[in-house]
């Protein structure tokens, strides 16, 4: 068997197999098959495939890896340990002994505890092992996978055990949908890549594990709250006793010297000061002031809780301590500490300046580090003040946006969204594009940049249309993903907790919504050259008029398009990293397309191109004309063409090194590849004729 093959395909009829092969010989060779194969596929039950079946689709329709079902009560994993495959017990059900043995060997290599048998229900009823997952084939003679899944879900004890169904013959979408309807967690079509199988199992069980831990934590928290409630009632009863209240006031009065003064302490201190005065009639104003303060403090709902105001205003207290006190013990809505889970910005006084820089290195920061920078961008243009945006809602909006980007995507993730936002922010500030726009335009642009790829699945529009996905059916094959991103943007904004647009009047909201939708739709590469042509025609025919909505919208669309593919004009180190990431997504999609029988674009096919060729062609045929027009519009941006030219030379140098066999690992970064190419002319890219002075806004 060729160990270079990505899949092992078993399509012989099981009956024919038994007539030709001795079963003992087959079982003896299974271990060798698993060891010599980097990726395994189990195709069917060794039954003849149905002639009416279409090409197998490697998609898995799941009820979501974040299923709300709790961890199986049969799990033997103790929660003082983290999730580990070695602590997981999986029951494999398949009527074909060869398939069971292959799957058992594969799972054991990932350190799972595997138990198999044709009669899965009997294994469950024996109760000798507490199973964490049932992995069952659909087509079995005694009881098929769907009936087994239903039976498990209806059982009072076993209904907590998740079930994944698999099939090499029943591969249509109906089977996947039926799996979800009957309570199955996932449906996998054979062939199954073993790394995908491991990821599916780990994601499912890890999610269930985490939710069980969360439930336990919530239970502990509820108990603590109950104890606190009981204590509060006891305190209230004691407060009705005059002698006890007097004693407490005496005790609490000593705390008034502390920096953290509670409302109750303040009341005690004011009363004592009044009792010590003998000439009240001479200090009527002071008396009224103190009594007013007493009434105000008594009206507080948290008379035992310090306000921490003195500490927060004290510059000698470090930011980490302030954050801890306010987020853990206070109900304060102080602007920087109002959202307990919102990350704090890294300590850097120059943060608002360096996020304007074109060479901003996004890969030096974590995603938590990046989120506060978005707040700085809004503040720099006074958007919070102008549009009455509460800082708490902006923070919640940013966190909601962050949560909808898929971390599993190599390219289309939150880091890319931030990169596009920072790029456009740089255009607005360092390259003076803001002079052509209004504050409402800038608000629309920042929102659109942050949200332009929300919930991107990692597969492009062509894949959605060819697979007839739910999204393609919803949006009639037209700008499928872009329409989806725009819809999610306003779905977030409709949430009152995240609605940063509540301060806009009706006309402002309508204009912003129209603008944001157009901005996100402009990122559809299907209309790329149309946008360039229209923008170039406007540049050559007349100046942009800041007083015209349509002119400003055209500028906005052009800026977000430049931001969306800005990596081509970034410094070489950043350009290289982004190119690796996007090509990873291309190659992943092409593999799925091959298995599904969909058309595969040559530039995504790893057997027909290279990462360097993709990057070079993208500059030549997609990015160059766009940035030439940008340089004509914003003269300060002409320097970006020089950076792009150097990047193009570097990619050409790598192409030449690959031809000479000197660069075999296309993931290896070379700082100056042009120095390694001898007697090779690396011509610069053609630059447009750029005006000497920028266009002035009317």
pLDDT tens sequence across 397-452: 999 999 999 999 999 999 999 999 999 999 999 999 999 999 999 999 999 999 99
Tell me: do 58 and 197 sit in the same domain: yes
Residue 602 has pLDDT above 90, yes or no: no
Tell me: do 107 and 195 sit in the same domain: yes
Nearest to 553 by CA among 676, 635, 452, 441: 441
Last residue of a domain, one of 564, 590, 606: 564
Last residue of a domain, one of 500, 530, 564: 564
Q: Return the CATH number at 42.
A: 3.40.50.2300
Separation CA 690–CA 338 (nearest Å): 48
Separation CA 401–CA 413 (nearest Å): 11
Nearest to 301 by CA among 262, 274, 328, 333: 262
User: Residue 309 — pLDDT band, cuts 50, 70, 90?
Assistant: low
pLDDT value for 68: 39
In tens, the pLDDT along 559-580 reads 999 999 999 999 999 999 999 9
Residue 124 lies in a domain: yes
User: Residue 74 — pLDDT band, cuts 50, 70, 90?
Assistant: very low
Q: Read off the tokens for 8.
A: 């092992």
In tens, the pLDDT along 43-64 reads 333 333 333 333 333 334 444 3
Residue 112 has pLDDT above 60, yes or no: yes
The neighbour count for residue 662, using CB atoms within 10 Å, is 12
Tell me: do 481 and 581 sit in the same domain: no
Tell me: do 577 and 523 sit in the same domain: no
Tell me: do 503 and 362 sit in the same domain: yes
User: Residue 77 — pLDDT band, cuts 50, 70, 90?
Assistant: very low
Residue 180 lies in a domain: yes
Q: Return the CATH number at 388.
A: 1.10.1300.10
Q: What's the whole-number mean pLDDT along residues 540-569?
A: 96
Residue 5 has pLDDT above 80, yes or no: no
Last residue of a domain, one of 518, 546, 564: 564
- Lowest-confidence region among 102-106, 323-327, 452-456, 597-601: 323-327
**Catalytic site includes residue 439:** no
Separation CA 598–CA 585 (nearest Å): 16
How many CA atoms, within 13 angstroms, populate the side-chain half-sphere of residue 503?
15
Q: What's the whole-number mean pLDDT along residues 609-614?
A: 92
Write b or e for each residue in 109-144: b if 16 or more Cβ atoms lie within 10 A of its Cβ, otherwise e. ebebbbbbebebbebbeeeeeebbbbbbbbbbeebb
Q: At what angle do helices 263-275 and 284-298 cross, to 10 degrees?
A: 150
Tell me: do 247 and 204 sit in the same domain: no
Tell me: do 651 and 638 sit in the same domain: yes
In tens, the pLDDT along 138-195 reads 888 778 888 888 888 888 888 888 998 888 776 667 777 777 778 888 888 777 788 8
Domain tally, the chain: 4
Looking at the DSSP assignment, which residues form a beta bridge with residue 136?
93, 165
Detail the residues annotated as belonging to a binding site.
Answer: 416, 452-453, 564
Tell me: do 559 and 499 sit in the same domain: yes
Tell me: do 523 and 404 sit in the same domain: yes
pLDDT value for 64: 38
DSSP-derived 3-state class of residue 325: helix
Residue 464 lies in a domain: yes
In tens, the pLDDT along 451-485 reads 999 999 999 999 999 999 999 999 999 999 999 99
Tell me: do 144 and 194 sit in the same domain: yes
Residue 365 lies in a domain: yes
Per the listing, tokens 């303060």 go with 293
User: Residue 685 — pLDDT band, cuts 50, 70, 90?
Assistant: low
Q: Is 563 within 8 Å of 449 (Cβ atoms)?
A: yes
pLDDT value for 262: 58
The H-assigned helical ranges of 184-299 are: 194-239, 242-253, 263-275, 284-298
In tens, the pLDDT along 489-519 reads 999 999 999 999 999 999 999 999 999 999 9
Q: Is 568 within 8 Å of 623 (Cβ atoms)?
A: yes
Write b or e for each residue in 195-206: b if 16 or more Cβ atoms lie within 10 A of its Cβ, otherwise e. eebbebbbbbbe
Per the listing, tokens 């393609």 go with 472
Separation CA 245–CA 614 (nearest Å): 78
Separation CA 97–CA 88 (nearest Å): 22
Separation CA 222–CA 226 (nearest Å): 6
pLDDT value for 264: 60
Q: Which domain holds residue 304?
A: 241-331
Q: What's the whole-number mean pLDDT along residues 223-251?
A: 74
In terms of pLDDT, which residue wins out, 214 or 625? 625
Q: What's the whole-number mean pLDDT along residues 260-281?
A: 64
Residue 235 lies in a domain: no
Residue 1 lies in a domain: no
Q: What average pLDDT does the structure give for the chain?
A: 78
Q: Read off the tokens for 324.
A: 């801890």
In terms of pLDDT, which residue wins out, 13 or 290? 290
Catalytic residue among 89, 111, 115, 412: 412
Q: What's the whole-number mean pLDDT along residues 554-563?
A: 98
Separation CA 221–CA 206 (nearest Å): 22
Tell me: do 164 and 254 sit in the same domain: no
Detail the residues annotated as belonging to a binding site for Zn(2+).
Answer: 416, 452-453, 564
Nearest to 574 by CA among 586, 583, 566: 566
Distances (CA, A) of 572 to 358, 578, 615: 12, 10, 12
Residue 127 lies in a domain: yes
Torsion of the alpha carbons at 372, 376, 378 and 379, rounded to the nearest 10: 130
Asked, as a colleague might, if the bond just before 191 is cis with ω within 30 of 0, I would say yes
Nearest to 41 by CA among 200, 190, 197: 190
Separation CA 115–CA 128 (nearest Å): 11
In eight-state DSSP terms, residue 569 is: G
Residue 527 has pLDDT above 90, yes or no: yes
Residue 681 lies in a domain: no
Tell me: do 379 and 521 sit in the same domain: yes
In tens, the pLDDT along 365-380 reads 999 999 999 999 999 9
Cβ neighbours of residue 388 closer than 8 Å, sequence gap 6 or more: 502, 503
């Amino acid at each position: 068997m060729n160990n270079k093959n990505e899949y092992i395909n078993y399509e012989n009829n099981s009956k024919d197999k038994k007539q030709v092969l001795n079963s003992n010989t087959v079982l003896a060779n299974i271990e060798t098959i698993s060891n010599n194969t980097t990726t395994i596929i189990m195709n069917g039950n060794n039954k003849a495939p149905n002639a009416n079946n279409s090409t197998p689709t490697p998609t898995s329709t799941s009820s979501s890896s974040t299923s709300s079902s709790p961890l199986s009560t049969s799990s033997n994993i103790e929660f003082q340990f983290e999730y580990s495959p070695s602590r997981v017990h999986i029951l494999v059900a398949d009527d074909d002994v060869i398939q069971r043995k292959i799957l058992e060997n594969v799972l054991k290599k990932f350190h799972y505890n595997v138990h198999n048998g044709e009669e899965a229900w009997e294994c469950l009823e024996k109760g000798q092992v507490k199973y964490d997952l049932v992995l069952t084939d659909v087509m079995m003679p005694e009881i098929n996978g769907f009936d087994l899944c239903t039976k498990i879900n209806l059982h009072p004890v076993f209904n907590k055990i998740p079930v994944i169904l698999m099939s090499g013959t029943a591969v249509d979408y109906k089977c996947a949908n039926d799996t979800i309807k009957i309570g199955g967690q996932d449906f996998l079509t054979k062939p199954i890549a073993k790394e995908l199988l491991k990821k599916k199992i780990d994601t499912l069980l890890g999610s269930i594990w985490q939710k069980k831990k969360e439930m336990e934590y919530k239970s502990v928290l509820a108990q603590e709250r109950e104890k606190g409630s009981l204590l509060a009632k006891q305190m209230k009863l004691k407060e009705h006793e005059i002698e006890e209240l007097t004693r407490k006031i005496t005790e609490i009065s000593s705390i008034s010297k502390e920096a953290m003064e509670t409302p109750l302490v303040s009341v005690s201190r004011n009363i004592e000061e009044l009792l010590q005065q003998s000439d009240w009639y001479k200090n009527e104003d002071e008396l009224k002031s103190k009594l007013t303060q007493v009434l105000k403090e008594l009206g507080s709902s948290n008379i035992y809780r310090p306000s921490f105001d003195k500490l927060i205003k004290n510059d000698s207290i470090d930011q980490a301590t302030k954050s801890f006190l306010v987020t853990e013990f206070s109900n304060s809505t102080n602007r920087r500490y109002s959202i307990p889970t919102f990350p704090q910005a890294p300590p850097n006084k120059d943060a608002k300046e360096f996020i304007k820089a074109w060479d901003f290195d996004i890969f030096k920061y974590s995603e938590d580090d990046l989120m506060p920078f978005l707040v700085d961008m809004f503040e720099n243009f006074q958007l919070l003040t102008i549009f009455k945006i509460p800082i708490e809602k902006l923070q919640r909006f940013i966190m909601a946006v962050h949560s909808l980007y898929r971390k599993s995507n190599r390219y289309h993730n939150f880091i890319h969204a931030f990169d596009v936002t920072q790029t456009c922010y740089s255009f607005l500030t360092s390259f003076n594009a803001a002079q052509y726009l209004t504050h409402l335009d800038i608000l629309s642009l920042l929102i659109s940049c942050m949200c332009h790829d929300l919930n991107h699945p990692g597969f492009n529009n062509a894949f959605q249309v060819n697979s007839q996905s739910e999204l393609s059916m919803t949006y009639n094959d037209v700008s499928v993903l872009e329409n989806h991103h725009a819809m999610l943007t306003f779905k977030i904004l409709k949430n009152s907790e995240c609605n940063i647009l509540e301060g806009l009047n009706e006309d402002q909201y309508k204009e912003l919504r129209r603008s944001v939708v157009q901005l996100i739709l402009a990122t559809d590469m299907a209309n790329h050259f149309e946008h360039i042509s229209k923008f170039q025609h406007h540049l050559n025919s007349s100046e942009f008029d800041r007083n015209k909505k349509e002119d400003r919208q055209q500028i906005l669309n052009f800026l977000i398009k430049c931001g969306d593919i800005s990596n081509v004009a970034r410094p070489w180190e950043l350009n290289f990293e982004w190119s690796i990431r996007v090509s990873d997504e291309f190659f992943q999609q092409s593999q799925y397309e091959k298995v599904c029988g969909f058309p595969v674009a040559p530039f995504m096919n790893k057997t027909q191109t290279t990462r360097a060729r993709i990057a070079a062609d993208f500059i030549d045929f997609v990015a160059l004309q766009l940035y030439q027009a940008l340089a004509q519009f914003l003269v300060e941006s002409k320097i970006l063409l020089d950076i792009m030219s150097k990047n193009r030379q570097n990619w050409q140098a790598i192409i030449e090194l690959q031809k000479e066999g000197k660069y075999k690992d296309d993931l290896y970064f070379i700082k100056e590849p042009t120095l390694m190419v001898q007697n090779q002319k690396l011509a610069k890219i053609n630059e447009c004729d750029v005006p000497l002075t920028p266009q002035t806004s009317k």
